[in-house]
């Protein structure tokens, strides 16, 4: 069996880079004495995979990781033991026991929800929003391994609303294409003609193609 | 930190590299209530990644926090981007735990690991809101204390540090903090508390002494200003390491540290008597932790951290009397948890290597050897008891066991060194390469890599070479060029550094209290993070010497006479001047001195009432 774990990465923990987070989670699993599995070979490593890395500075309210287990375990017992080894702000929120054959979370991932709380400029952004979304395409420069290339943000924005003092976005996040929330903010600010404000971004959900959370396969 | 400042800090963290260095809140970090406690900030004068690799900080952090009446928090040197941001935002340098400015603590303690971190101490004091010099500090300012290997020559920091601890800190630090806490509670003046600190065994309070100088710049006299100021100051010793504090719940860095693993200190001290090695003299006598204690500590550390790697720390791991047993029991204990044991820089003159191949969980990280000098003659001078035969045997064994990379460490500029000795380095490298090719092709691993590193020799206090001159920069550069040519060998890489940093190290390692002026001036000229080559500004340092009218060559390149009073002789490390001088003369005569476990060589430590080997 394998265990899917939903966890948070809030507050100061948003500054931990992905590699550092991987290491921190592996060590927590080891401290907790959970029945983890290791790769073969001379330098075995603990088998653990993450649905999607989070950029440094962005909070995660319901992030997802998965690991194969060496023996069966109750979800609640797993959760309790793991949490005893995790610091505040990096707690596990749910554990789901899954069949080994369930496709990996990473492969099921299609989209993510974000909230963006800009420190200022909310009014201007609200006014710009309808026009921004009405554009047929929103070109931007995407930086990748292969250098800078032109890409279109519009088809990657599934939904974008402003209410309660925050922007709420549903963005594509899959191997076929992803939009970054900071890029969305940059493009929207550019369209609204305002400088980019400081903005706390939180990823609130990771969704599959049915737009259901990954922990409900 | 007030909420508004916290806001500004949050905003700042979003703009700096590796913000996790500054957030704290790591697993096992300790946050105690300040009320009614003496507060201590352990300040590490280098970046988070370096600090969090340092065992001494972990030891003291836990030793202090274990006490109910005390608390210990941590602060490190911010990187340049953060430093600029803190200044711009008017945020003082703060501790990781409670986010309080350094100036709010009762005591701030620096560890002195290397001379080139001294400007960082000034920067941290400055950013933390503490006046740089002791005499400028108001009554409520923290007591600035320091320890670590460089505290054995405290003089270049004399006006800056209020009190130094010479020697082991596990117990003495607690005593110092209590003198400060109780003194403050009783309403004593800052001066009175300093006098009381001088009463703690092993503590040196520089403001209670006075130094005068001869015309030629050498030290004329060093005198206590009051009867309460001891001279010499005898170093502190933890005699029973099983009883000494050792960390069990070390804070786990979020941002990876240079050495991010369980570190077990198996032994303190070394009896080999290498003549260039300061630690070998400072940390006598040899004291071992028992294998049972170490296993217990290792288990606790694993449970508290989940680390995947473990290393053993000591000056000479191969000399630990029960090494094989220890490795065996550690491996057996941690087999299931997949904790690998790494054993860096093993001494080459023992059969350990063989035993290690049987233990599958020992990491193969390549073979590291430190012959230190290229010829037998020069190895005899420095008393590095290793022969070419030993070396080549270790190398051959390593190649046979499937290793293909070897690192060889040397020093250049050693006393009496000739070009012939230097060319011996190339000779040795060539022989190592030959050992590899002597094996049949199918028996050796592919990709031979021999790395030869040559550092510049820095004569250190409390060694038989404490009287010696460092080679001039020109000499060192000529020697490096010679070696660069001679080491153009296939499969061999040569590593070397410009000797400017070593030159300054040599100045400060054997400096007197006048050098503090240079340090303050260099800091004012913008020098900091000198240990990071991209920030090291040699010209500014030279200017600081010029501006203060001191000649660096007087410190680095001068041969001291037998009768000269040396600034660091305020400390009694156990080993006597007479022993060091005898070793100095034997060195120049090329005579070796055997490992003193084979028979006491009379270094002087026995004066410390029966503390040495039976
Ligand atoms: S007193 Fe003798 S045995 Fe002890 S460290 Fe000194 S020389 Fe070695």
pLDDT digits (tens, 9 = 90+) for A112-124: 999 999 999 999 9
- DSSP readout, A109-168? --EEEEEEEESS-HHHHHHHHHHHHH-S--EEEEEETTEEEEEE-GGGEEEEEEETTEEE
Distance of alpha carbon B23 from alpha carbon B9, whole angstroms: 10
CATH of the domain at A82: 3.30.70.580
Residue B286 CB less than 6 A away from ligand 1: no
Q: A40-44, A99-103, B307-311, B316-320: lowest mean pLDDT where?
A: A40-44
CATH of the domain at A152: 3.30.70
Look at residue A213 and tell me if it is in a domain.
no
Q: Where are the beta strands (DSSP E) in chain A?
A: 2-9, 49-50, 59-68, 92-98, 111-118, 139-144, 147-152, 157-163, 166-174, 177-178, 199-207
| Length reported for chain B | 614
Residue B285 CB less than 6 A away from ligand 1: yes
Q: Is the pLDDT of residue A66 over 70?
A: yes
**Residues of chain B where predicted confidence (pLDDT) is lower than 70:** 344-365, 609-611, 613-614
| Length reported for chain A | 217
- DSSP readout, B95-126? -TTT--BGGGSSEEEEE---GGGHHHHHHHHH
> Residue B189 has what DSSP assignment?
-
| Residues forming beta bridges with residue B262, ordered by sequence position | B310
Look at residue A216 and tell me if it is in a domain.
no
- The verdict on A101 and A6 lying in the same domain is yes
- The verdict on A48 and A126 lying in the same domain is no
- The verdict on A102 and A179 lying in the same domain is no
Closest CA to B456 of B487, B477, B436, B435: B477
Alpha-carbon distance B338 to nearest alpha carbon in chain A (angstroms) = 7
- The verdict on A37 and A50 lying in the same domain is yes
- The verdict on A97 and A129 lying in the same domain is no
Q: Is the pLDDT of residue A53 over 70?
A: yes
Residue B63 CB less than 6 A away from ligand 1: no
Structural domain ending residue among the three candidates A60, A79, A107: A107
Q: Is the pLDDT of residue A217 over 90?
A: no
Q: Residue B11: its chain A contacts at CB < 8 A?
A: 198
Distance B606 CA to ligand 1 centre (A): 7
- The verdict on A90 and A165 lying in the same domain is no
- The verdict on A20 and A55 lying in the same domain is yes
Look-up of token digits 């260095």:
B21
Contact B338 A85 (CB under 8 A): no
Domain count of the fold of chain A: 2
Q: What is the pLDDT of residue B346?
A: 55
Distance of alpha carbon B106 from alpha carbon B115, whole angstroms: 25
Contact A186, A156 (CB under 8 A): no
- The verdict on A159 and A176 lying in the same domain is yes
- What does pTM read for this prediction? 0.93
Give the domain extent around A75. Answer: 2-107
Contact A87 B14 (CB under 8 A): no
> Residue B236 has what DSSP assignment?
B
- The verdict on A162 and A200 lying in the same domain is yes
Distance B184 CA to ligand 1 centre (A): 41
Distance of alpha carbon B434 from alpha carbon B444, whole angstroms: 12
Q: What is the pLDDT of residue B347?
A: 46
Look at residue A164 and tell me if it is in a domain.
yes
Residue B603 CB less than 6 A away from ligand 1: yes
The CA–CA distances, whole Å, from B326 to B28, B264, B307, B311, B394 equal: 27, 11, 19, 12, 22
Distance of alpha carbon B151 from alpha carbon B149, whole angstroms: 5
In a mutagenesis test of the B interface, which of A8, A9, A12 is the best target, namely the one with the most B β-carbons within 10 Å? A12
Look at residue A212 and tell me if it is in a domain.
no
Please name each of the domains of chain B with its CATH number.
Answer: 3-234 (3.40.50.2300)
Closest CA to B72 of B152, B145, B149, B160: B145
- The verdict on A86 and A113 lying in the same domain is no
Look at residue A70 and tell me if it is in a domain.
yes
ipTM comes to 0.87
Q: What is the pLDDT of residue B360?
A: 46
- The verdict on A123 and A98 lying in the same domain is no
Contact B343, B310 (CB under 8 A): no
| Angle subtended at Cα B428 by Cα B423 and Cα B432, rounded to the nearest 5 degrees | 150
- DSSP readout, B347-384? -SSSTHHHHHHH-TTB----EEEEEESSSHHHHHHTT-
Distance of alpha carbon B225 from alpha carbon B205, whole angstroms: 11
| Strand pairing category for B405-412 and B309-313 | unpaired
What is the rounded average pLDDT for all residues in chain A?
A: 94
The CA–CA distances, whole Å, from B287 to B241, B406, B425 equal: 7, 30, 34
């Amino acid at each position: 069996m394998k265990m899917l774990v939903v966890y948070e990465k809030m507050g100061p923990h948003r500054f931990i880079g992905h590699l550092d987070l991987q290491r921190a989670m592996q060590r927590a699993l080891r401290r907790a004495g959970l029945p983890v599995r290791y790769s073969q070979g001379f330098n075995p490593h603990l088998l653990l995979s993450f649905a999607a890395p989070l950029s440094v500075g962005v909070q995660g309210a319901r992030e997802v990781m998965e690991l194969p287990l060496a023996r069966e375990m109750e979800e609640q017992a797993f959760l309790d033991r793991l949490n005893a080894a995790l610091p505040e702000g990096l707690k596990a929120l749910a554990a789901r026991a899954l069949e080994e054959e369930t496709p990996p979370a990473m492969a099921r991932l299609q989209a993510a929800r974000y909230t963006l709380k800009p420190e200022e400029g909310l009014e201007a952004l609200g006014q710009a929003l309808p026009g921004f979304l009405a554009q047929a395409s929103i070109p931007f420069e995407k930086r990748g391994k292969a250098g800078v290339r032109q890409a279109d943000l519009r088809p990657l924005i599934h939904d974008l609303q402003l209410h309660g003092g925050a922007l709420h976005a549903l963005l594509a996040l899959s191997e076929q294409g992803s939009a970054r929330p900071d890029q969305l903010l940059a493009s929207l600010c550019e369209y609204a003609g305002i400088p980019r404000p400081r903005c706390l971004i939180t990823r609130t959900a990771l969704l599959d193609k049915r737009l259901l959370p990954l922990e409900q396969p | 930190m007030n909420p508004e400042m916290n806001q500004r800090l949050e905003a700042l963290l979003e703009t700096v590299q590796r913000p996790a260095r500054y957030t704290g809140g790591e697993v096992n970090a300790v946050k105690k209530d300040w009320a009614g406690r003496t507060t201590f900030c352990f300040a590490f004068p280098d970046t988070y990644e370096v600090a969090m690799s340092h065992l001494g900080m972990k030891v003291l952090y836990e030793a202090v926090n274990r006490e109910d009446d005390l608390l210990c928090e941590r602060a490190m040197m911010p990187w340049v981007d953060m430093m600029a941001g803190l200044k711009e935002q008017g945020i003082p340098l703060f501790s990781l735990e409670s986010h309080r400015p350094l100036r709010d603590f009762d005591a701030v303690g620096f560890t002195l690991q290397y001379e080139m971190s001294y400007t960082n101490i000034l920067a941290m004091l400055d950013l933390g809101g503490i006046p740089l010099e002791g005499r400028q500090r108001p009554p409520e300012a923290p007591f600035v204390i320091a320890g670590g290997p460089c505290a054995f020559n405290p003089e270049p920091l004399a006006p800056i540090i209020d009190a130094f601890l010479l020697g082991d800190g596990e117990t003495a630090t607690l005593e110092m903090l209590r003198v400060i806490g109780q003194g403050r509670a009783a309403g004593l003046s800052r001066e009175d508390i300093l006098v009381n600190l001088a009463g703690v065994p092993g503590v040196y309070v520089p403001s209670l002494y006075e130094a005068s100088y001869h015309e030629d710049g050498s030290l004329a006299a060093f005198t206590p200003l009051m009867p309460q100021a001891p001279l010499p100051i005898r170093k502190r010793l933890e005699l029973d390491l099983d009883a000494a504090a050792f960390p069990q719940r070390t804070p786990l860095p979020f941002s990876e540290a240079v050495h991010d693993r369980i570190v077990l200190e198996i032994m303190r001290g070394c009896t080999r008597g290498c003549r260039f090695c300061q630690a070998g003299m400072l940390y006598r006598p040899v004291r071992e932790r028992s294998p049972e204690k170490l296993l217990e500590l290792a288990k606790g550390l694993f449970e508290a951290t989940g680390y995947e790697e473990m290393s053993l720390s000591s000056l000479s791991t191969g000399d630990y009397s029960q090494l094989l047993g220890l490795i065996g029991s550690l491996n057996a204990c941690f087999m299931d948890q997949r904790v690998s044991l790494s054993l860096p820089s093993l001494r080459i003159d023992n059969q350990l290597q063989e035993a290690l191949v049987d233990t599958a969980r020992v990491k193969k990280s390549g073979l590291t050897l430190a012959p230190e000098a290229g010829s037998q003659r020069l190895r005899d001078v420095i008393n590095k008891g290793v022969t070419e035969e030993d070396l080549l045997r270790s190398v051959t064994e390593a190649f046979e066991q499937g290793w293909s990379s070897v690192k060889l460490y040397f020093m250049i500029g050693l006393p009496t060194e000739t070009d012939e000795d230097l060319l011996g380095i190339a000779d040795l490298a060539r022989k190592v390469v030959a050992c590899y090719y002597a094996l049949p092709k199918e028996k050796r691993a592919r990709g031979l890599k021999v790395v030869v590193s040559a550092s510049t020799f820095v004569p250190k206090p409390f060694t038989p070479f404490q009287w010696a001159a460092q080679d001039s920069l020109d000499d060192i550069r000529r020697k490096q060029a010679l070696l660069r040519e001679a080491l153009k060998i296939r499969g061999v890489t040569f590593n070397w550094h410009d000797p400017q940093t070593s030159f300054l190290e040599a100045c400060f390692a054997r400096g007197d209290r006048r050098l503090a002026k240079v340090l303050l001036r260099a800091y004012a000229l913008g020098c900091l993070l000198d240990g990071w080559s991209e920030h090291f500004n040699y010209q500014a340092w030279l200017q600081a010497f010029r501006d203060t009218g001191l000649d660096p060559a007087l410190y680095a390149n001068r041969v001291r006479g037998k009768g000269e009073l040396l600034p660091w002789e305020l400390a009694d490390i156990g080993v006597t001047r007479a022993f060091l001088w005898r070793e100095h003369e034997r060195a120049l005569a090329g005579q070796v001195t055997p490992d003193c476990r084979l028979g006491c060589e009379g270094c002087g430590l026995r004066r410390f009432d029966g503390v040495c080997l039976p």
